Structure 1
Amino acid sequence: MLRALVTLSVVALVRGQQAGTVTAETHPKLTSQKCTTSGGCTTLSTSITLDANWRWLHTTSGYTNCYTGQTWDSSLCPDGATCASNCALDGADYSGTYGITTTGTALTLKFVTKGTNTNVGSRVYLMASDSEYQIFNMKNQEFSFDVDVSKLPCGLNGALYFSQMDADGGMAKYSTNKAGAKYGTGYCDAQCPHDIKFINGEANVDDWTGSDNDVNSGTGKYGSCCDEMDVWEANSISSAFTPHPCSEGQVRCEGDDCGDTDRYSSVCDKDGCDFNSYRMGDTTYYGEGLTVDTTQPFTVVTQFFTADNTTTGALSEIRRLYVQNGQTIVNSKVNIAGMDALDSITDDFCAAQKTAFGDTNDFATKGGLSKMGDAFDKGMVLALSIWDDHAAQMLWLDSAYPLDKDASAPGVKRGTCATTSGVPADVEANNADAQVTYSNIKFGDIGSTYA
C-alpha cells in the first residue's frame, strides 16, 4: 500500500473527485507495445497519469485547501458526498513537483523531489487515452519490461502491478466523481487501504485519524479492496511476484470485510502467494553481482498460462524469466525442505509453500489462481510506483519478517537487509536520490515480447 508524504507550504497533495482548472492536466507520453508471435510488435500511443492521492485538493471555485496535513476542512467536508461536491483535484507538474519523467519508452520515478514542497514517492497508471486507463487481460499472455533497480536500497520498493480498477476511474458508477481516470481516481488493492481520501466517489472523512508516524497521512472508516497481481516488487536486494485474489471485485469495505482486526476476515488475500528467490532458498540468485545482477538493467518477463492454453481458460501457472546482457536467465528453483524444486507459481506451489512456512493458506480460501484469472477477465489496470513503508519498513520484502519469528525458520528471511533498516525517516533523509526506471513495456502472446 502506498501513500504520499509531502512537506506542505501552500498546497496539500491528496485524492479528490472533481476536476480543477488551476493547472492543465497533460499526461506524459509513455509508449508501450502489443506483440504477437506472427506479426511482431505494434507501438501504442499510451501515456501515464498521476494517482489522485498525490494531487492538490482545493475548493472548486478557489484555492482553499480541502485537506491539509492530516486534517479535512470540516466546513468543506462535513461528509463524504458534500466534500466530493465542494472539492477538486488539479493537474500535475510531473517533473517539477513529483520527479516523474518520461522519454519515449522509459519512465523514471524519483523518490524525493524538493521544490516549493517536498514530495516523497509516487504512483502512476498507464493510460490508453486521455480519459481511460489501459486495460489488461493477461490470461495465456506474457508481460515484459526493462527495469533499473540499481538506485533502490533497503527499505524502498519499485513496484509494477495490476489492480482490478475501472477503466474510467469510476466516473460511470459514481455521479460525484467528475475527475475520473484522467486525474488518477478509483484506486484499490488487496490490502484494502484506508488512507485513500476518496472511495467510490465520496470522501473518506468518517472516523478520519491522522497517522502517528506520517505527518501528511491518515486513515478513514473505509478501505478500497480489489484483486491485485504484483508482477514486480523489488529493490536492489530482493524481489517478489505475488498474486492476491479477492472473493469479489472492487468494493468499499469497512471493519471485518477490510480485515481490520483479523486479516483473514478480509474479502482479499492480503498475504498473497509470493515467489521471492531469497525466501524460497536461493540466496545467490538476485542481487548485486549475482545471477540476476541488480547493478545493471535487465528485462523481466512474466507469463500467465491457462489450463487449456487459451485466453478464456482458467489461470493455472505464473512463470518468470529474465534477460540480461543478451542472455536468457530461467527463474530460480525452490530450495526448501518439504518442497519440490519448483520454479513457478501454481496452486500446488502455494499450498506447499504455506505448509512449509507455517502460514495460513488464505490464497486458496480466496479462490487461488482461478480467481486471479477472473480478475483479468474483468480487466486490470497497470500501476507503476516507488515507495517506502511506514507500516513495516519493507522488511517483508528484503529482511527477516515477521519480527516475532526466529530468522532461521523457513520463509522468514526474505533478503540481506537488517531488521533495523527501512525506517522511512532514515530512508528519506539518507536516500533522497533513489529512483527506479521502467522501460520497454510489452505485452502479448507467450514468447512474443523478448528475444
Structure 2
Amino acid sequence: MSLEVFLNRDLLPSSRTQTAENHPALSYQQCTDSGCTTVDTAVVLDANWRWLHTVDGYTNCYTGQDWETSLCPDADTCAENCALDGADYSGTYGISSSGDALTLDFVTGSNVGSRVYLINGDEYEMFMLKNMEFTFDVDVSNLPCGLNGALYFVKMDADGGLSEYSGNSAGADYGTGYCDAQCPQDLKFIGGEANVEGWVGSSTDANSGTGDIGSCCTEMDIWEANSISNAVTPHVCSTDGPCTTAETCGTGDDRYDGYCDKDGCDFNPYRWGNETFYGPDSSYTIDTNSVITVVTQFITDDGTASGTLTEIRRIYVQDGEVIQQANTNIEGITTTNEITDEFCTETKEVTGDEDKFGELGGFSTLSDEMDAGMVLVMSIWDDHTANMLWLDSTYPTDDPDAVGAARGTCATTSGDPDDVESNSPGSSVVFSNIKFGTLNSTYSA
C-alpha cells in the first residue's frame, strides 16, 4: 500500500499525533564465512493501516470504505488536509517483537492482519540480494487454511517516497511507499496523492476499496505460506510506479496487459508433484508443527553480485537436518528443485498459463531490478479475492484435474475471510533469527 502523503511532521504539532510512533526493535544478522554480526533495526507499520485524520484535529479523513468528501474532494486537497497518526503496535495491531523475533497476530480487536517493513533509522533497510542468501526461522503452526504469513521483498524507495513526491511528508518513518507486482489499488495514497478518484468500496471487505490508481513494482516472494502449503515466487514488472488505467494496472480481464507479472513463477512443492514434502505432521519431510529454518539463495552467472541472476535455490533446516527443496515431479517439467528461466517457461507450457514472466524478461529483468536494492516486508493476511485457494487448495476450481491446479490439501470451500476471521482469530505467525550474507554462511546443520 503505497500511502504517500501523510503526517506533515514539520507542520503538525506533536499534540496532534494522538499515539506516539515507536518502532518495535527487531535485529538481524549480517554474515560472512568468518561469522555474523548483529544489526540493530526495527519494524514500521504500513501507512494504509494507520488512522488518517485532519492535520489540525482528529476528524477522520477516511472511515470504513469512504473518504470524507469535505476533506478529500480531490487528490491534492486530501493530501494537504490529512495526516497519519502513530501506531499502538501491540494493542491495536497485534504486532510484537522480542530480540530477533517478530510476532504478527491475525485479529486484534477490530483490526485484521498487518504489514510491516524493516527500517534502520528513518529509511528502510535495503537488501542487495544477488550472489547472497537470506535466511530466517518461521513458525507457521498457527496458520490454518486461508491465511498467509508472508515474507518478501519489493522494490520500494528507501525513504518511502519522501524525496520524490512533494505530497509525502511522512516517509518511511510512517510506512509509506508500498508497491508490489499486483499493482494494488486499495492503497489510500500513491505517489503523494490521495487515491480518491474512482474509489469504490469492496464487496467483501467492509474496511477497504479501490481507486483508479495502483502502485506497481517488482516483487520477490521469499515465503508465502501457512501450515498446509508454501511457495517462493519471483514477479517482474516492465515499469515501476503508479498505474492509472485498467490496462496498465492489469485489472480484471486486462490482467495480462498490465505493467507487472501478477501470476509470477511460483515453486510450490505440492503444486509441482511432491504432495508429502510440506505439511502439519511428522509424516511430511518438513513438519509445519515445528519451527522451520528457510534459506533462499540468489545465484548469478559469474558468482558475483554484479552478475546476472540465473537461479533461485531453496534449502530448509529442521531438527538439525539440512533439507534441499523438493524436486519437481510433473510430466513436461525437467526435474529440478531450482527456479530458473527454463523452469518458469516449462511450468507455463504445461499449465497453459500465459507466460507474462517470460514476456517481461524473466530473470534478466529481475536481476536488473534487484540492483537498486529491495525492502523487506513481513505480513499476515487473508484473501478477499480468491480465498487463498491459489496457495493451499485447488485453483482455479472449475478444472480440478488440470496440471498445476492442485496446490494444497485445503478444501475449495475454505479460506472465506468471514469464516477465517470468525473461526481462527487467534492465528499468528512468528518470524525470527533473520540472517543475510554470503552463500552458505547463514545456516548449518
Alignment pair present for 1:268 and 2:273: no
Candidates 340, 344, 352, aligned match of 2:338: 344
In structure 1, what is the Cα distance between the partners aligned to 2:293 and 2:368? 27
In structure 2, what is the Cα distance between the partners aligned to 1:173 and 1:252? 17
Q: 1:342-370 CA distances to partner (integer Å, 9 max, x unpaired)?
A: 10100001011111111111110111012
Identity of aligned residues (%): 61
Alignment pair present for 1:120 and 2:112: yes
Alignment pair present for 1:227 and 2:221: no
**How far did 1:376 drift?**
1.2
In structure 1, what is the Cα distance between the partners aligned to 2:99 and 2:428? 18
Letter in 2 for 1:271: D
**How far did 1:57 drift?**
0.2
Letter in 1 for 2:300: T
- Which residue is 1:449 aligned to? 442
In structure 2, what is the Cα distance between the partners aligned to 1:249 and 1:16? 19
Is the Cα–Cα contact under 8 Å of residues 30 and 48 in structure 1 kept in the other structure?
yes
Q: 1:34-88 CA distances to partner (integer Å, 9 max, x unpaired)?
A: 1112x21110011000000110000001010000111101111111111111100
Letter in 1 for 2:323: I
**How far did 1:23 drift?**
1.5
- Which residue is 1:329 aligned to? 323
Letter in 2 for 1:371: T
In structure 1, what is the Cα distance between the partners aligned to 2:46 and 2:245? 22
- Which residue is 1:17 aligned to? 6
Letter in 2 for 1:330: Q
Is the Cα–Cα contact under 8 Å of residues 48 and 188 in structure 2 kept in the other structure?
yes
- Which residue is 1:277 aligned to? 269
- Which residue is 2:13 aligned to? none
Letter in 1 for 2:17: T
SS at match of 2:173: helix
In structure 2, what is the Cα distance between the partners aligned to 1:158 and 1:127? 19
Letter in 2 for 1:60: V
Letter in 2 for 1:157: N
Alignment pair present for 1:74 and 2:63: no
Alignment pair present for 1:32 and 2:28: yes
- Which residue is 1:249 aligned to? 240
In structure 2, what is the Cα distance between the partners aligned to 1:292 and 1:128? 33
Q: Which runs of 5+ in 2 are unaligned?
A: 9-15
- Which residue is 1:294 aligned to? 288
Q: 1:173-192 CA distances to partner (integer Å, 9 max, x unpaired)?
A: 01110010000000000000
**How far did 1:385 drift?**
0.2
Is the Cα–Cα contact under 8 Å of residues 144 and 226 in structure 2 kept in the other structure?
yes
**How far did 1:137 drift?**
1.2
SS at match of 2:371: helix
**How far did 1:372 drift?**
1.1
**How far did 1:408 drift?**
1.8
- Which residue is 1:148 aligned to? 139
Candidates 405, 418, 422, aligned match of 2:411: 418
Map 1:43-58 to 2 at 5 A.
43-58=38-53
Is the Cα–Cα contact under 8 Å of residues 301 and 310 in structure 2 kept in the other structure?
yes
- Which residue is 1:158 aligned to? 149
Is the Cα–Cα contact under 8 Å of residues 107 and 426 in structure 2 kept in the other structure?
yes
**How far did 1:250 drift?**
3.0
SS at match of 2:345: helix
Candidates 338, 343, 359, aligned match of 2:353: 359
Aligned-residue CA RMSD (Å): 1.2
- Which residue is 1:8 aligned to? none
Letter in 1 for 2:423: N
- Which residue is 1:368 aligned to? 362
In structure 2, what is the Cα distance between the partners aligned to 1:356 and 1:211? 34
In structure 2, what is the Cα distance between the partners aligned to 1:218 and 1:300? 34
Is the Cα–Cα contact under 8 Å of residues 242 and 275 in structure 1 kept in the other structure?
yes
Q: 1:133 to 1:75 in 2, by over 3 A?
A: same
Alignment pair present for 1:312 and 2:306: yes
In structure 2, what is the Cα distance between the partners aligned to 1:237 and 1:87? 42
Letter in 2 for 1:18: L
**How far did 1:249 drift?**
2.4
Q: 1:253 to 1:162 in 2, by over 3 A?
A: farther
- Which residue is 2:383 aligned to? 389
SS at match of 1:251: strand
**How far did 1:145 drift?**
0.2
SS at match of 2:90: helix
**How far did 1:15 drift?**
7.5
Candidates 197, 200, 203, aligned match of 1:206: 197
SS at match of 2:123: coil
SS at match of 1:247: coil
Alignment pair present for 1:89 and 2:78: no
Alignment pair present for 1:193 and 2:184: yes
Q: 1:262-318 CA distances to partner (integer Å, 9 max, x unpaired)?
A: 111011000100000000000000001210100000100000001111100111000
Letter in 1 for 2:292: F
In structure 2, what is the Cα distance between the partners aligned to 1:177 and 1:145? 32
Letter in 1 for 2:120: A
Q: Which runs of 5+ in 1 are unaligned?
A: 4-13
Is the Cα–Cα contact under 8 Å of residues 138 and 304 in structure 1 kept in the other structure?
yes
In structure 1, what is the Cα distance between the partners aligned to 2:422 and 2:356? 37
Alignment pair present for 1:183 and 2:174: yes
**Number of aligned pairs?**
434
Q: So what's the TM-score if we normalise by structure 2?
A: 0.96
The 4+ residue runs of structure 1 with deviation greater than 4 A are none
Is the Cα–Cα contact under 8 Å of residues 4 and 168 in structure 2 kept in the other structure?
no
